Amino acid sequence: MTVYLVGAGPGDPGLLTVRGAEILARADVVVHDRLADASLLALAPAGALRIDVGKRPGESGHQDQIDELLVTHARAGRTVVRLKGGDPFVLGRGGEEVAALRAAGVAVEVVPGVTSAVAVPAYAGIPVTHRGLSTSFTVVTGHSRHAVDVETNWEALAAVGGTLVILMGVVHRGEIAARLLAAGMAPSTPVAGIRWGTRPGQTTVRTTLEGLAAAPLEPPATLVIGSVAALDLGWWEHRPLHGRRVVVTRARDQASTLVAGLRERGAEVVELATIAIADPADGGAALGRAAAGVAGYDWVIFTSTNAVERFCRLLRDGRAFGPARLAAVGSGTADALARHGLVADLVPDRFDTDALLAAFPAPPARGGRVLLPRAEVARPELPVGLRVAGWDVEEVSAYRTVAVRPSPAELAAVAGADAVTFTSSSTVTNFIDAAGRGSLTGAGGAGDGSDRSATVAARPAVVCLGPVTARTAEAAGLTVDAVASPSTIEGLLDAVGLVLARRLHP
């Protein structure tokens, strides 16, 4: 089999190449560095073996052990991905790993990645070349004292000009600055230190070569030295939720839109799924019978995208509905129908049960039938209200929500959160069962070593998708800080942004 050396990029999972994602999707084994983003590891199949071989600060090298691990799994006939930060061949010892694999007779493919030497300065708004300032850039390691004192010709680097990008050099920044100053580089030369580059917690420290030794910097950080370091064309750190940590409690297979929206706004997202979507207890038998006879109903009401997806996959196409009309609670549910080529005949202005009941027509004189496919356990207000209005309502279980027990690491991440989002009553109750109310009454540190741009509040903000979820949270003893209006994912994103902005600038 083949071992694939895949460059993971410097941190932002969006910088993984298409080829890298393709390879990860069919991996049997993923051997990864310490700082590999969890969302990249999730691209591998659920059953893939994931092995962390990243060195911790202060640990000595163990490259021979990594090489042996790769060879062993490859010889066992497994597809092995060696996931490396940045680019495998830019100060990543990728060349050594390829040489060891080839010497052992193992096939290798290298999938280049975006190197931190270019991406990290770009995310800080610093172009490594810029007309009138720099026509070249040099990448050098400052990882060890031997590299600083013996392997690197600082005099030549000072003389060549251009931009100097130093990776893994924060610990030895004082010696590096001294060598460059002794080589004739001006004390006023601009320097930028970018910590946690391309990640949600990225911070940039601006200084000069003379002030570099005393600059408040800690690893992991990239140093940029030269005229371009005075430029500030930044965008990453100016996003509205930059440096904020937000917990998403929705089921993982439903959370992608919310997670993507939060990340686009700059948040660090903790996916703490407290529920999962499963088949109803009867395996979907009742839903199948209802779908087979759907043309015999006057209305079919969908209250969630889950109900839409599970119902529509049982139909040949939209003609199966016959004369039945469709109602959708919420634009997200209506959009799910649209993906199946169906147009909702009724979408209330407000995305809740009361609004649907107020907008729903009276039944015809002959009487009328409503089909309501929804969660196995759901609130009774909608079917009760329809029956009071004179409709014959058939409820059918389309799916179940089952509790998911988060891992201790996931629960620990809540302690440093700025906000926790709830999208349904079940996410509230299951979260409290798993984490306890106390997790939403106080907050600790970030827990990952990253800098946080804003002070963590006394407790995470509680933000709910709609009024029903908010009432469940309040009944459970939580203080609800914001409710999405409208009750859509976009509304929830706006609500998170507003409540955290108020906390930062009361």
**Strands in 156-291 per DSSP E:** 163-167, 190-195, 203-208, 221-225, 245-248, 268-271, 275-278
Share the mean pLDDT of the chain. 91
Reported CATH class of domain 2-113:
alpha beta
220 prior amide bond cis, ω within 30: yes
Res. 150: pLDDT tops 90:
no
Q: What is the pLDDT of residue 456?
A: 43
Element holding 326 (H helix, E strand): strand 325-328
163-167, strands of its sheet edge to edge: 137-141, 163-167, 221-225, 190-195, 203-208
Res. 455: pLDDT tops 50:
no
CATH topology of domain 245-274+405-504: Rossmann fold (3.40.50)
Q: How far apart are the first and last CA of the chain?
A: 59
Res. 56: pLDDT tops 80:
no
What are the tokens at 488? Answer: 């859509």
List, in order, residues 6 or more apart from 38 with CB less than 8 Å away: none
Q: Is 139 helix (H, G, I), strand (E, B) or coil?
A: strand
84 given a catalytic annotation: no
Q: What is the pLDDT of residue 448?
A: 42
Q: What is the pLDDT of residue 487?
A: 84
Q: Are 35 and 195 in contact (CB under 8 A)?
A: no
CA dist 73 and 109 (Å) reads 15
CA dist 239 and 442 (Å) reads 26
Q: What is the pLDDT of residue 250?
A: 87
Q: Per-domain residue ranges for the chain?
A: 2-113, 118-237, 245-274+405-504, 280-399
Q: In residues, how long is the chain? A: 506
Res. 105: pLDDT tops 50:
yes
Burial of 11 (0-12, 13-18, 19+ CB in 10 A): buried
Backbone angles phi, psi at 375, to 5 degrees: -65, 150
Q: What is the pLDDT of residue 57?
A: 53
Q: What is the pLDDT of residue 445?
A: 39
Reported confidence tier of residue 335, pLDDT bands at 50, 70, 90: very high
What are the tokens at 198? Answer: 């391309």
What are the tokens at 186? Answer: 């001006």
What's the Cα-to-Cα distance from 494 to each of 189, 487, 498, rounded to whole Å? 42, 11, 6
Comparing 2-113 with 118-237, is the CATH topology the same?
no
Q: Are 487 and 350 in contact (CB under 8 A)?
A: yes
Question: Which is nearest to 324 in space by CA: 371, 270, 378, 280?
Answer: 371
The pTM assigned to this predicted structure is 0.80
The CATH label, of 3.40.50.10090, 3.20.20.10, 3.90.79.10, 3.20.20.70, for the domain at 280-399 is 3.40.50.10090
33 given a catalytic annotation: yes
Element holding 398 (H helix, E strand): strand 392-403
pLDDT in tens, 248-304: 998 877 778 899 999 999 999 998 888 889 999 999 999 999 999 999 999 999 999
Res. 35: pLDDT tops 90:
no
Q: Are 480 and 473 in contact (CB under 8 A)?
A: yes
Q: 12, 28, 55, 279: which one is catalytic?
A: 55
Reported confidence tier of residue 82, pLDDT bands at 50, 70, 90: very high
Architecture per CATH, domain 118-237, reads as 2-Layer Sandwich (3.30)
Q: 12, 28, 33, 282: which one is catalytic?
A: 33
479: DSSP letter: P
Q: Angle at CA 25, nearest 5°, toward 19 and 29?
A: 110
Q: Are 138 and 31 in contact (CB under 8 A)?
A: no
In percent, the amount of the chain with pLDDT more than 70 equals 95
Beta partners for residue 447, in sequence order: none
